[in-house]
Structure 1
């Protein structure tokens, strides 16, 4: 595997070259520690506002309910959510090739980040200014655009965090970041459902909610400019997209546990086939008023919030593998409980379990992949993971829409429970990477 390294004098001995490489690595680690307080706060502030806004888009409430309002079709809901994840799956590996040869990835991350936010803005403006049939078409387009840039941003920003936040603190940072973002998102969600959606603010409560999401995420992205990014002593040589794609099979053959983890993550992501339909199923039981939407959204996000602190602490102490297994198991159990719940309080508790489970899955997915190998290959490992999970998250809503339309919601939830259980079982055959090798 080719890597770019600083030029060396041919007359230097191998020991001298090794000593210089070790000194460069030590200087790089020292720079990380020196800038850690500033970078920790910048990542926390960016995550607080960015996560708050994006949760309004990604929560299994506002977007599915909005698409169903425009279309009246479960399949259209699945299609819209699939468009988002098709975009993400198509761009993740390309995102890795954009940055793995760069000493600094933040400038590219800011550019991609603004593109992602343009998708949220388009989603909002389409609802304000277009009739329902055109608003539906543009919503699907802008969700796809949102996903396209999201696939690249996820690779870039996870790589950036791995560069500036040491592994010993990463679980707690993501947990606390998501905790604070979840509190804010829960409050915004309640206000959005209770006053913006139910009050039809500015003529379209859903669009107003998405506009709030755009504003919050834009402020968060601007705060990321405070990060001081170190330049690593080694980077990969620049490679073409096709060349890197041809290297993926060798990477998978070299680490069977990594391959099994990708399969488990893909199965768990396929479990999202049911996610857009939780709120529609609940609506059949208690109605989809703005107040009910607010309560269920708040329960989902508050639980995701509180659980993130516990998941992060558990990950830092015992590793991310146990977090993956526990959270996906909770997600499956909560989906099962949904089938036997018929009142608002019970549904709020179920949505709390769903939020806690999905939050732990997302956090463990992001963090465990960092620990599977060398730093220089991290963007591609993240990209392969994002591609696998995004493809499943694209197929999931389409499959879910077909099952819900042609069979029933209980049949859909049973299928989701089956694949989530399969993901947990598969992780029994993946060792904890933190215990078997030191991250390079």
Structure 2
């Protein structure tokens, strides 16, 4: 097993590498499911972390992406992307046992060690991620990017779902603040470390195409200047920055909101996370098909607003004291957000790779990562700093309907984290506006894609229905629309032909 790049890559070797790429996701996703996200936040709360601590911890995976800048120079100089990706993965995941050990201590020092280890882990992951992304850009054929990463993401969602349910079961059987829960957190991080090492071993077996010969040494600033002079890529960066601020201002605190403001146990959060992962898994193939058939931007224009709507609708959970309703509402929203974020994740990753010129992916991908780092890294820190400010404030609106039968009131009370969700919605709408300015080859109108999706759904209903009248109802309007479009296109073609004839 060699970590050196290969001068020539056969079709069989490329296919084997793509199969390993999908298979490796099972182990890397296990590490992520057991040591990040809800588990990581719950671990921090178990150690006594404040809102600011949670915000700083949530920013670690993003703010450390700034290490992509020196990583560009290292990748371009060493030109050994696989070696960099494997070594950083092994050393970074060695921090997980250190974090596991903090579960058995109390005070500020364990929190500092926990936070420092997380930053080392995320920093090395970011450094290796620069090499990994550029490597994958050259390994996966452009016309198969959507399908390959859809299958990989499906593995990720499936394993994350299973690991999340297992974590929820373990946490459910341990009392909050008990030594049993400390042992549970430590065990999850040790298992996560083991899975991470297996992941690194699989990555080491994947082939790496030889990078194109360097045309002389290029200064780092000049390397980063190329993506910034690309107008279309700058528009993509504007969307990325505004989107990451909108999402990461609120979503890192979902666990805190559900546990502290709504009063549920951490295991409830894990179950909701598992529901979200299941919805993610079921929606992945659907979104993957749409990205290949239409465009990544078109998918984003549908999935991103749906995800933002889910964030804003979290406000509804704090408006009721009925636990059954709240649980059902949270479950519905996690299904919505899980399904929509599948499209956002898949399409945003693919569009960044697609807009990166082949052979220059390192600089483009790293620039995109730096933009994400600054936006997504600062947003949760800002949220943590403002947590105490919003916790002492409340906004109440009273809607009432008066009729001869009496008056019905609909009170709306916004407090604490509700403000974050509302603010995230406003910023999310601006992000969608910025996305509309990005140009992608092959994109179609969002309305046309929605019409086709609805049409497919209606056909499925028609084929499964035993009511004959429904067939006519669902069949007539689409046929009229298709006929109208054909006539419109024919008219346009005739006008263009007549114009060309006149000019001659």
Does the TM-score normalized on the shorter chain lie above 0.5? yes
Which residue of 347, 362, 367 maps to 2:330?
347
Paired residues for 1:23-422 under 5 Å: 31=9, 33-59=11-37, 61-89=38-66, 91-128=67-104, 130-196=105-171, 198-199=173-174, 201=180, 203-235=182-214, 237-239=216-218, 243-253=219-229, 255-271=230-246, 272-284=248-260, 286-341=262-317, 343-407=326-390, 408-422=416-430
Q: Report how far residue 163 of structure 1 moved.
A: 1.5
* In structure 2, C-alpha distance between the alignment counterparts of 1:320 and 1:312, rounded to whole Å: 9
The alignment of Structure 1 onto Structure 2 pairs a total of residues equal to 401
- For the pair shown, the structure with the greater C-alpha radius of gyration is 2
1:362-402, Cα deviation, whole Å (9 max, x unpaired): 33232212222422221111111111101111101111112
Q: Report how far residue 57 of structure 1 moved.
A: 3.5
TM-score by length of 1: 0.84
Pair 1:429 & 2:404 matched: no
Is the 8 Å Cα contact of residues 312 and 424 (structure 2) preserved in structure 1?
A: no
Aligned to 2:453: none
Is the 8 Å Cα contact of residues 164 and 270 (structure 2) preserved in structure 1?
A: yes
TM-score by length of 2: 0.74
* In structure 2, C-alpha distance between the alignment counterparts of 1:100 and 1:285, rounded to whole Å: 49
* In structure 2, C-alpha distance between the alignment counterparts of 1:277 and 1:304, rounded to whole Å: 20
* In structure 2, C-alpha distance between the alignment counterparts of 1:98 and 1:207, rounded to whole Å: 34
Aligned to 1:6: none
> What residue ranges of structure 2 are gaps of 5+ in the alignment?
1-6, 321-325, 391-415, 444-504
Is the 8 Å Cα contact of residues 191 and 294 (structure 1) preserved in structure 2?
A: no
Q: Judge which range, 101-110 or 91-100, deviates more.
A: 101-110
* In structure 1, C-alpha distance between the alignment counterparts of 2:199 and 2:341, rounded to whole Å: 23
Q: Report how far residue 289 of structure 1 moved.
A: 2.1
Is the 8 Å Cα contact of residues 100 and 376 (structure 1) preserved in structure 2?
A: no
> What residue ranges of structure 1 are gaps of 5+ in the alignment?
1-26, 436-440
Greater helix percent: which structure? 1
Is the 8 Å Cα contact of residues 80 and 140 (structure 1) preserved in structure 2?
A: yes
Q: Report how far residue 177 of structure 1 moved.
A: 1.4
Is the 8 Å Cα contact of residues 196 and 205 (structure 1) preserved in structure 2?
A: yes
* In structure 2, C-alpha distance between the alignment counterparts of 1:58 and 1:87, rounded to whole Å: 15
Distance change >3 Å, CA 103–CA 425, structure 1 → 2: same
Is the 8 Å Cα contact of residues 171 and 267 (structure 2) preserved in structure 1?
A: no
* In structure 2, C-alpha distance between the alignment counterparts of 1:157 and 1:380, rounded to whole Å: 13
